[in-house]
């Protein structure tokens, strides 16, 4: 048996998936109708909308199968998300990658598999719409075209879910998505006794940009700053726009000493933007950086509040210096 490799964008892919806040949720008719339709159109006993998490594949919709998830290392969908094209196995017993796979030798006895990757706006392939049969079968071009059409419908439903967790202007996580991902990172670091840092970032005098140059230019400034945030921090960091001109970052496995160099790089990148952009205004920001104390910080909200208070202290001190 061959376990699936990891996609090159695995960190971003997992962050995108978890930001949807869809894992382990109840069945939804908008996904169930697609798997029912796929089962009927292709005459297969099993059809799934499978989302590939870090250690498992979880079924958002499932017809013909009692299980709700399986380990990722034995999943067929883990292989399918490695490429844009439909992944097919006509007869698992003739394929050395799968003939001794527990899902082939045991329940549900997979002999045929076809999975179309489900891709979201940032290019991440989060899972598949897949077909499973207990008998070998062929899969021609008409079949592939039909499965792609159904998968596109599933992608549209995922896009609708993603809109609830993504900030449309900056394409960063919104507050809901940030809190979901950030709390997951917080819980994981606490359980593993690893460091975690939170940065609370607020743009300085942003209202003046809107008042002087208009809201369209204000939106441009937010987009530029968000792009710098995205490129400055690691793929594994959780970056979000909490609202207005407030942003936050959760850095897993990094204490304050490791977080400060990232903040310095952000400051330098913002300065370079001003040299490059010549828009008639300067973007600057104030930030508070707090390392998690898992005794006093019981959840993400607690450490975020500490970072927020520290940021306002920094902003207040800077204003006092300018007015002195």
Interhelix angle 175-192/300-323, nearest 10 degrees: 110
- Residue 147 is predicted with a pLDDT of 96
Cα dihedral across residues 174, 283, 263, 200: positive or negative: negative
For 5, residues 6+ apart whose C-beta sits below 8 A from its C-beta are 82
Predicted confidence (pLDDT) per residue in 54-87, tens digit: 999 999 999 999 999 999 999 999 999 999 999 9
Query: CATH 3.30.70.270 spans which residues of the chain?
Result: 175-323
Token pair 């960063």 is found at: 172
CATH number for the domain running over 175-323:
3.30.70.270
Determine the Cα–Cα distance for residues 52 and 43; give it in Å rounded to an integer: 25
- The rounded radius of gyration (Å) of the Cα atoms in the chain is 23
Here the contacts of 101-110 (C-beta below 8 Å, separation 24 or greater) are 101/1, 101/74, 102/1, 102/74, 103/70, 103/74, 103/75, 103/76, 108/46, 108/65, 108/67, 108/132, 108/134, 109/134, 110/76, 110/134
Q: Angle 84-127-179 (CA atoms, 0-180°, nearest 5)? A: 125
Judge if pTM exceeds 0.85.
no
Cα dihedral across residues 171, 177, 179, 183: positive or negative: negative
Query: CATH 3.30.450.40 spans which residues of the chain?
Result: 10-163
- Burial class from Cβ neighbours inside 10 Å (0-12, 13-18, 19+) for residue 82 reads middle
State both tokens at 140. Answer: 């021609």
- Residue 235 is predicted with a pLDDT of 75
| Cβ–Cβ under 8 Å, residues 56 and 74 | no
| Cβ–Cβ under 8 Å, residues 264 and 199 | no
Number of alpha helices (DSSP H) and beta strands (DSSP E) in the chain: 10, 10
- Residue 237 sits at φ, ψ, to 5 deg, of -80, 150
Instruction: Name the stretches of the chain with pLDDT < 70.
Output: 274-278, 322-324
- Residue 173 is predicted with a pLDDT of 87
- Alpha-carbon separation of residue 15 from 86, 99, 315 (angstroms): 24, 32, 30
Determine the Cα–Cα distance for residues 197 and 191; give it in Å rounded to an integer: 15
- Alpha-carbon separation of residue 80 from 58, 85, 130, 259, 321 (angstroms): 14, 8, 9, 36, 57
Domain 10-163 falls in which CATH fold?
A: Beta-Lactamase (3.30.450)
State both tokens at 286. Answer: 């104030």
- Interstrand relation of 87-89 and 112-119 (parallel, antiparallel or unpaired): antiparallel
């Amino acid at each position: 048996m061959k376990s699936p490799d990891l996609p090159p964008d695995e960190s971003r892919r997992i962050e995108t998936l978890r930001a949807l806040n869809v894992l382990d949720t109840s069945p939804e008719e908008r996904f169930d109708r697609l798997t029912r339709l796929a089962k009927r159109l292709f005459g297969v006993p099993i059809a799934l909308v499978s989302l590939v998490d870090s250690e498992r594949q979880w079924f958002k919709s499932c017809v013909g199968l009692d299980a709700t998830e399986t380990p990722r290392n034995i999943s067929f969908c883990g292989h399918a998300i490695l490429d844009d094209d439909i992944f097919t196995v006509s007869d698992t017993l003739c394929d050395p990658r799968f003939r001794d796979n527990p899902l082939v030798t045991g329940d549900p006895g997979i002999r045929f598999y076809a999975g179309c990757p489900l891709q979201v706006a940032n290019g991440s392939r989060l899972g598949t719409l897949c077909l499973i049969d207990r008998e070998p079968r062929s899969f021609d071009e008409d079949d592939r075209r039909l499965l792609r059409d159904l998968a596109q419908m599933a992608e549209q439903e995922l896009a609708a879910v993603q809109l609830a967790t993504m900030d449309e202007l900056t394409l960063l996580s919104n507050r809901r998505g940030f809190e979901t991902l950030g709390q997951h990172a917080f819980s994981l670091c606490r359980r593993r006794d690893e460091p975690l840092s939170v940065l609370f970032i607020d743009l300085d005098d942003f209202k003046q940009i809107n008042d002087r140059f208009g809201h369209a230019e204000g939106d441009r400034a937010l987009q530029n700053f968000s792009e710098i945030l995205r490129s400055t921090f690691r793929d594994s960091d959780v970056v979000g726009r909490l609202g207005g001109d407030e942003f936050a970052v959760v850095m897993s496995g990094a204490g304050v000493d490791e977080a400060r160099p990232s903040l310095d790089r952000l400051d330098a990148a913002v300065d370079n933007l001003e040299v490059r952009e010549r828009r008639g205004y300067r973007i600057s920001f104030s930030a508070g950086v707090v390392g998690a104390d898992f005794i006093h910080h019981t959840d993400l909200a607690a450490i975020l509040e500490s970072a927020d208070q520290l940021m306002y202290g920094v902003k207040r001190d800077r204003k006092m210096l300018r007015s002195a």
